[in-house]
Structure 1
């Protein structure tokens, strides 16, 4: 329940590192050090019978915008959480969930992030959230350790 299926901000540990290699984009989320490895080589999604906590993501470029489509979510998770605190449970979902993220480079230090959530079993219509991601060259992602006394 603490894994993000999209890049919604949590209460803390909101840093992301985005890397591109031939055929893949990797988004490392500071919270829980979850790494989303997103193929951008045109391959098909996994079979519909395979359900994953973070869904199955596939990306492609539309000009200067990275578009990531994610489906095949397990119905046991949440699209987003407020970290591992449990204070905010996240966004309910079913196996019909479909998420489309758009990351557009605005300038050298800003990415415009937009996510559209569609789940006809929960919501009457799709909804979209937009916010900027700002580069912080001086920020270091530290080891994530969630255990007693680590504060």
Structure 2
């Protein structure tokens, strides 16, 4: 059986071929638009204090109608090239979470990959990882709610902008509970009650105490660059962090036709746990590989219809 390092190199090679075949245009657009962090001032002690301050500055928020909301229509592309996080991250990690992150770094250096990643079990990317997962995003805005949708795992974040408080009778969930308000064309979001997870594969973990404040805004493209939606986010985690951590990401508007479909992870995932408990991938040609599905619901026709 191939070593994990050899397997990782094969996986990377396959991914590079797929990306190259998919489009060179989007890659060219993404690379120069890495988002830089705008650190909020002043420094807030909690997500609640941060949210209340922004709402006070917005005088309670803008009351939009269906016709006055910003236009975020279309499909938006995100990914590693558009986020501020870089290895090694500058997060103010607590000692325990610093040790966890350093262990992941060791595994990547010595094994070529992290020992384990929970997406192997078809678990959601969850919050805050949702922000930077490199999959298509789509947004549906209404006066009382904003739906932030991700192709991967069919994850939809519902942001309630009608003034209601947090409500989590079911406890912590993968995407948490999100409330917010509009400040002109900027959407301010406060997310809480998440599950313990991570920021991205190989990146630091977060605890279930994490809360996030996000400010979203569509930015007009200049000098031939496409429009993008930029999110500035501040993470508050009294267990995983010793202070607020500011990150940023942007989503480039795709210039190609695409429709988000239902994601059936169980039928298409080639990520598995190996016998030693590590995350690995089944490659094309290996036993158990699941080829992409291309089912049709109508019989084949020998000749085009008249």
TM-score range, shorter chain: 0.7 to 0.9
Q: Which structure 2 segments of 5+ residues have no match?
A: 1-122, 222-226, 269-289, 293-306
Secondary structure at 2:205's aligned position in 1?
A: coil
Per-residue deviation at 1:90?
5.4
Secondary structure at 2:242's aligned position in 1?
A: coil
Give the equivalent residue in structure 2 for 1:117.
235
Cα–Cα, structure 1 residues 150 and 69, in superposed 2: closer, same or farther, change >3 Å? Answer: farther
Question: Which residue of the other structure, out of 28, 45, 59, is the alignment partner of 2:166?
Answer: 45
Cα–Cα, structure 1 residues 145 and 66, in superposed 2: closer, same or farther, change >3 Å? Answer: same
Q: Which structure 1 segments of 5+ residues have no match?
A: 82-87
Give the equivalent residue in structure 2 for 1:100.
213
Contact 2:180 2:189 in 1 (8 A): yes
Corresponding residue pairs, total? 141
TM (norm. structure 2) is 0.42
Greater per-residue helix proportion: 2
1:145 & 1:50 partners in 2: Cα distance? Answer: 26
Contact 1:4 1:80 in 2 (8 A): no
Larger Rg: 2
Per-residue deviation at 1:26?
0.3
Which structure is higher in RCO with an 8 Å CA cutoff and minimum separation 6? 2
Give the equivalent residue in structure 1 for 2:125.
3
Structure 1 segment 2-151 matched on structure 2, within 5 A: 2-6=124-128, 7-10=130-133, 12=134, 14-47=135-168, 50-75=171-196, 78-81=197-200, 88=201, 91-107=204-220, 109-140=227-258, 141-146=260-265, 147-148=267-268, 149-151=290-292
CA-atom RMSD in angstroms: 2.3
Contact 1:5 1:53 in 2 (8 A): yes
Greater per-residue strand proportion: 1
Contact 1:46 1:56 in 2 (8 A): yes
